[in-house]
Amino acid sequence: MADSDPVALHIIDYQRLNELYDGDNEQIASLFELFLDEVFPDFDEIEAEIDQQNWPEVAQIAHKMLPWVGMVGLTALEAKLRTIETQAKAGANTDDIMATWNQFKTGLDQATPLIRQELVKLTS
């Protein structure tokens, strides 16, 4: 199953980027930059709330971040984050939420350098 494979989670969905931005590299670069500078630090916040098992806040933060993950073409990670939101809203088992978060975090850690590389390419 592709969405449980951490290797597949870090892939940038270029087809989706083209659908969203019609090949507008300036807009893509701008969103990559916003994601890295403004959104990326929020992942520390959701991790802290997960550690505290504050599920309503986890669900709220995940919901707020979902569009951003999708807008930078991290489609598989968007699905994982949606699962975290659903699990948190349902009060799922802590181990299940932690397992999903760890998969998401691994994929995000692998995707971040790719987004940085793409940003350099797009702005060079």
Q: What is the pLDDT of residues 42-95, one digit of tens each?
A: 899 999 999 999 999 999 999 999 999 999 999 999 999 999 999 999 987 899
End-to-end CA distance of the chain: 37
- What total number of domains does the chain contain? 1
102 lies in which domain range? 2-123
pLDDT at 7: 45
Does 3 have pLDDT greater than 70? no
Any idea what DSSP says for residue 74? Answer: -
pTM of the model: 0.84
